[in-house]
Structure 1
Amino acid sequence: MTSQPSPASPSTPDHLNWTIDQIRALGTVTDIATVGQIFGLPRSTAYAMAQADTLPVPVIKIGSRYRVSVTAIIAVLTATHPNRRPPAT
């Protein structure tokens, strides 16, 4: 479902390797495990935050599955990194 970037080095956190283009390539929505990787969270923490509604992005619950809008992820990342351009509309 999702492709993950390869770590640049063993000491580099995975979330530092996600580019905006790689995130856009995920499609319209992605799963919580991928959101966790993007934000540098362990999978269990990302799921706990989704259940508690404390992730920095809105979570969509479809049945027993959680999904997050890729546009929302990009908006949060570009808002917290002023050198990055906002997503194209």
Structure 2
Amino acid sequence: MSGRSGPPLGFAEALDLPLSVDLRTAARAFGICPGTAYKLIRLNAFPCLVLRVGGRYRIPTAYLLRSLGIEERPVYAVPLEDDAAPADPYDNTDPRTSEKPA
């Protein structure tokens, strides 16, 4: 196998991964080609935990993200828009009862 299996994963794409990923996806996250990933596994030098399930390799996403320096998942992967922000719950002013200037 030569070359990468696609562009490196972006931050938002990494946060949308399932509980475990295949070796190609993990290799993409690290920015290496699948052949290099297989070689690192044979050398017991892959940067995170690798599970052998049947004849395939699976990488738990939590270990993958931790190896990439992503310790916690944010509540929102994308910033909220201003108009989507919730109203201030402590704002008790009612425009109908405000005083009118005399």
User: What TM-score do the two structures reach when normalised by structure 1?
Assistant: 0.65
Is 1:87–2:78 an aligned residue pair?
Answer: no
Name structure 1 gaps, 5 residues minimum.
1-5, 7-13, 79-84
> Which aligned runs of 4 or more in structure 1 are off by greater than 3 angstroms?
none
1:51 alignment partner in structure 2: 42
For residues 50-69 of structure 1, the aligned pairs below 5 Å read: 50-69=41-60
Cα offset for 1:29? 0.3
Over aligned residues, Cα RMSD in angstroms? 2.1
User: Contact conserved, 1:20 with 1:74, CA < 8 A, in 2?
Assistant: no
If each structure's helix is expressed as a fraction of its own residues, which one has the higher value? 1
Q: Greater CA deviation, 48-57 or 59-68? A: 48-57
Measure, in 2, the Cα distance between the counterparts of 1:60 and 1:32. Answer: 10
User: Contact conserved, 1:59 with 1:68, CA < 8 A, in 2?
Assistant: yes
Matched length = 69
Identical columns (%): 22
Larger Rg: 2
User: What TM-score do the two structures reach when normalised by structure 2?
Assistant: 0.58
